[in-house]
Structures are given as structure tokens and as C-alpha cells.
Chain A
Amino acid sequence: MAKKSIKIRAKAKNGVVTVKALISHKMETGLRKDKKTGKVIPAHFIEAVDCDHNGAPVMNAEWGVAISKNPYLSFKFAGASGDTVKLTWKDNTGKSDSLETKVK
């Protein structure tokens, strides 16, 4: 994939790492209709987001269609600066992307 769909900021403060992530995805519900053709736009959404901290999973999320488009996600875990955080998403069409970053 040429362009990364994920942006992550991870910051450590007092032993707690706060991760903020933005994923660029249209999160189509499958209920909307195309105004020009009247056809239903098929559902296209992220159904799983996994996050690893130093290679060990800390969070995996199961998402439905009710997460807003271009999803924002933030969560916290105990860690320190220099640790690695890896975020992976997968959508209902089988597409996926992941990004690894270092905690600041």
C-alpha cells in the first residue's frame, strides 16, 4: 500500500502510555443509498483492530458499522517511552493495514 492509512501518536507520562490513533477508512454501513443511482452502497467497514505493545497484545477491538468514518481511537496502558506500539486493522472485505511506532 502506497499510503499509510494509520496515524498514531503514543506518549508516555508517569508510566502510562496514551495512544491516539486515526485510521482513514470510509466505514460504510451498508444502509446508505447512492443519491444518483438509488443503489445501496455495500457495507465496507473495519471489523477488527488489534494493538500490540512490545509484541504482546494489549487490546483488540471488535467494531461494528456504528463507528464513525475515519475512526479515531484512544486507549492507555502501562508502559514507558521507547516501547513499540503496533496497530493493525482489518475490514470486512479482507483488506488490512498496520503501523508500528515508538512511544515518545
Chain B
Amino acid sequence: MQRRHFLKNTMATGAVALAATSGLLVPLKVLAWNKEAFDAKDVQSAMKGSIGTELTEASDKITIKAPDIAENGAVVPVTISSALGDVKSITILSEKNGTPLIAKFNLKGKAEAFVSTRIKMGKTSNVIAICESGGKFYSARKEVKVTIGGCGG
């Protein structure tokens, strides 16, 4: 599973780089985007699709900064930082969203284990942050209460 994803990803980036250098901006959308994982309806398959495993180790070295109560689920500020060394990726999920996978940040080179963004949450649920460090996956969760949902109209 892992290997297949690796192959898919390298092929996609290679194609994008090729398109960029040759000046051909063909919309290569489906190739690069991990549709399977983002369309997954439950946390397990979303995790499996994005990081290749559903097993993570709970860690207190991951800090999730998010409001306890979000008045507007359409805009929930979330900041994730980690004291784990050599973090390769940070994945954010919201447990009870229709499609739980929110984003995956692949960190490279000199990047530090820190990302901050704003997410949509359908209803009160846990925000799960997964950090990849040294080939292992660590996770932390925090509950955010949502008073107005952010999905749908």
C-alpha cells in the first residue's frame, strides 16, 4: 500500500514538473490529488488512504491549538506543533466531518513541525493531528464544540 502510494506520488510530481518546465499547463488534477483518502467517509479509511496505516501512537508531544468552542464551524483556526524530532508530515482530520480527512502537510528539508490553518467542521467532534516522525505515526486529539455547522448550507 505504502509503496503504491509512493509510486503514484512520485509519478504525479514528475509529471507536474515536466508540464511546468515545458510550459504545458495541462490540468493534471486527478493524478496528484489523493482522491481515495479525501473521499473516505470514516476516520479509519481516511487515515489508511493518507498515511498508509490506521495505527498511531498517542503522543503528548503534539500540541493542537484550537478553540474549545467554535462559534462558526466554517472557520475553525487550528495550529499544530510538535516537539517530536524530524517530523515528515502533519495530517489533520476532523472525526465527524462527512469526509474526515482535512489536509496533509508534507514537510521537507528545513521545515519545522508547525502548521496553522483554518478548517471547516460539520459538528462538535475531535480534531485529530497525526505527525510522522522516524517512520512512525503519532497522534493527538482535541475536542472542539461547534455551535453552527460549517458544511452544507
Contacts and interface: CB of A to CB of B under 8 A. Distances in A.
B27 A93 contact: yes
B84 interface: no
B75 A61 contact: no
Given A33-B153, A47-B33, A65-B99, A73 B27 contact: no
Given A68-B75, A71-B118, A92-B33, A59 B103 contact: no
Given A61-B104, A61-B106, A78-B110, A47 B29 contact: yes
B153 A68 contact: no
Which of under 10, 10 to 19, 20 to 34, or 35 or more describes the interface residues of A? 35 or more
Contact of B106 (A33, A53, A62, A76): A62
Contacts, number: 126
Nearest to A96: B25
Interface residues of B, number: 43
B114 A75 contact: yes
Contacts of B76: 68
B111 A75 contact: yes
B151 A31 contact: yes
Contacts of A53: 109-110
B108 A58 contact: yes
* Residue among B26, B29, B32, B77 with max Cβ neighbours from chain A (10 Å): B29
A35 B153 contact: yes
A68 B76 CA distance: 8
A64 B108 contact: no
A58 B153 contact: no
B66 interface: no
Interface string A38-49: 000000000110
Contact of B109 (A62, A64, A77): A77
Given A62-B33, A68-B120, A93-B27, A76 B112 contact: yes
B74 interface: yes
8 contacts: A47-B32, A57-B109, A62-B33, A62-B106, A65-B38, A68-B74, A75-B112, A93-B29
For the complex of A and B, 10 pairs with smallest distance between CB atoms: A94-B27, A74-B116, A78-B110, A68-B118, A76-B112, A64-B38, A66-B102, A77-B111, A47-B33, A58-B111
